[in-house]
Amino acid sequence: MEWYLKVLKNYVGFSGRARRKEYWMFVLFNVIFAVAAMILDNVLGLASKELGYGPIYGIYALVMILPSLAVAARRLHDIGKSGWWQLIALIPIVGVIVLIVWYATSGESGDNRFGSDPKAGEGAA
């Protein structure tokens, strides 16, 4: 949960680097909260039958756009790539697969052009 909150506190921080752990823990909690919002929409009877979700999920998804883009950009910075590489997801299937592989790739050790190593002084994770 601390990683999720760390990303939210830096919700428009597109500079710097993010470790794999920070990124994937954010993704995990983001999915959990999104599913909870969908369930809440359905339990309260707010969900649209056509869409399967309602306003609670919609608001949550809108609020999470910037933090998600920011942490993904910082994750790409950790492997030495520009955050603009997120646009590769617009290429059907292949783009998303490439991004998932990059998000799972270990970051560059030591400083790079995007900042200092976020693992510096910590054990390998």
Position of tokens 């954010």? 26
26 touches 66 (CB < 8 A): no
| Nearest CA-CA partner of 113 in 1, 2, 3, 16 | 16
pLDDT-above-70 percentage for the chain: 96
**Strand, coil or helix: 12:** coil
Domain ranges of the chain: 2-104
What the block records as the tokens of 69 is 């883009």
Please write the tens of the pLDDT for every residue from 5-62: 889 998 888 999 999 999 999 999 999 999 999 999 999 999 988 888 999 999 999 9
Task: pLDDT band for 123, please (50, 70, 90 cuts).
Answer: low
pLDDT band, very low/low/confident/very high, at 125 (cuts 50, 70, 90): very low
- What is d(CA 113, CA 124) in angstroms, rounded to the nearest whole number? 21
